Structure 1
């Protein structure tokens, strides 16, 4: 895929926000500990979380800073972030509805900017340049690479069956076609790569890497895996149109048949963190 074959539109995650807190595995506390240690965070400075979604990473890291700003292009995601912040008592986050390409948007300077499963949806060269200029001289760009909708594939014994993700993908394709959907467009080559070159061209030094090892086995219900499917841009609820009830019924039937006592088990994958400095 090239940078010009797909363009963002506001329906990318339409209808997905309410499924995040149910269907996505939360980031572990160890991720915050690793980032705090690597950057010697002491509760000062500001955090900018770009493409923050419903605040999954924002709310985990906000207590490490004086203040945080979560930026996202989806109003429903931000509403969910505010709801979750109220629920856990995190009071130092400002939520801003705008695309990353609109930065700096008079937001000021930040000690850390984070991108978690979001950078590939943006005009990456433009965003990299603009965010670099928003960082303090000792600031850092933190890229979190994770897979939070499903666990690691494998055949090691688990207490319950693994969720049948290959069959889920086949079911989605039977409704939406074989080429991955993304908003109103198709994404035949998947999300783009080449991040390292873009970051270097924007003036960042080579990154340091952190691996947050997990391997923890978690149990998941049919409802949770159903929401995990709907939390994805490639199977966001709006894509099914008036066939949404039929798809959900078929999905739940598939999952109910594959589960044991309504439960699945998955082993959580490791999280890779790249820390770039201007």
Structure 2
């Protein structure tokens, strides 16, 4: 029996606009590493699971003949659909589905990617399903980025404390399930047990200068303090955020060294 934390399926409802505008893109160095390390043919199919608003699907699309962008949140997929039309990306297929319920044929994909979401999935089940869907020799990439409240700078510690206080005040602590932050079976073990050859991790950093407005928007893109939770307290929340961060304001910006990572695994064959 799995001991994974179970996340609700609608935690990001209503966040798509903020997610698309305020989530940081993956750096070109990570994308280049991913493309080079997976030996893409240029005419295969990409699967982006839990795709959000396409932070991986769109920059990787030039390397594929077709892209499946899959997310269980309907407004995320509608944003993907609009972006694809606006950008003239014709071979992108937006699909509303969970990673655990998606239907696909064996040997369908040259590469599968999951961005900042594998920990939210039923990892053992999803890993086996992805292995089944990949072509022999195909790859799975788990991509990650750090959050602005997770670092050790004074402003980041103040931000983390402010968010925790508002979660308590708004009764939102349980939107992140109990046990989600505890150590669990490492991803490489999960992938290896599913039948993957684990290739290793590559790490990257990029400096970003946040404005207060960008931080406020980014927070609204999260599952724990989305607009639906903040509700009619939005003005009070923004005022408190500004007051909490004002002692650390460096000319209107808050500088973060953002960490990014890419874990690669390969289907034998």
Q: TM-score, normalised by structure 1?
A: 0.83
In structure 2, the partner of 1:175 is 166
Tell me which moved more, 8-17 or 94-103: 8-17
In structure 2, the partner of 1:150 is: 148
**Aligned CA distance change for structure 1 residues 171 and 60 (closer, same or farther; 3 Å):** same
Preserved CA contact (<8 Å) 2:106 2:135? no
Return 5+ residue gaps in structure 2 as ranges: none
Contact 1:146/1:272, CA 8 A, preserved across alignment: no
Residue 186 of structure 1 aligns to a residue whose secondary structure is coil
SS across alignment from 2:26:
coil
Alpha-carbon distance in structure 2 between the residues aligned to 1:263 and 1:107? 48
CA contact (8 A) 1:152 1:269 kept: no
CA distance in 2, matches of 1:100, 1:34: 25
Quote the Cα distance in structure 2 between the aligned partners of 1:44 and 1:165: 43
**C-alpha distance in structure 1 between counterparts of 2:37 and 2:224, whole Å:** 34
Corresponding residue for residue 72 of structure 2? 73
How much is the aligned-residue C-alpha RMSD, in angstroms?
A: 2.8
**CA-to-aligned-CA distance 1:11-35 (integer Å, 9 cap, x gap):** 3112322112332211112222111
Alignment partner of 1:220 out of 206, 210, 218: 210
- Say whether residues 1:99 and 2:98 are aligned partners: yes
1:48-99 alpha-carbon deviations (Å, 9 max, x no partner): 0111011001111111111110110111111222333344443321110011
Mapping 1:1-278, distance limit 5 Å: 3=3, 6-105=5-104, 109-147=108-146, 149-150=147-148, 153=151, 164-177=155-168, 181=173, 183=175, 186-190=177-181, 193-194=184-185, 195-205=187-197, 207-214=198-205, 216-256=206-246, 258-278=248-268
Q: Is the 8 A contact 1:151 1:266 kept in 2?
A: no
**Larger deviation: 225-234 or 79-88?**
79-88
The match for 1:159 is none
3-state SS of the aligned residue for 1:233?
coil
Count of matched residue pairs:
265
Whether the 8 Å CA contact 1:104–1:130 is kept in 2: the answer is: no
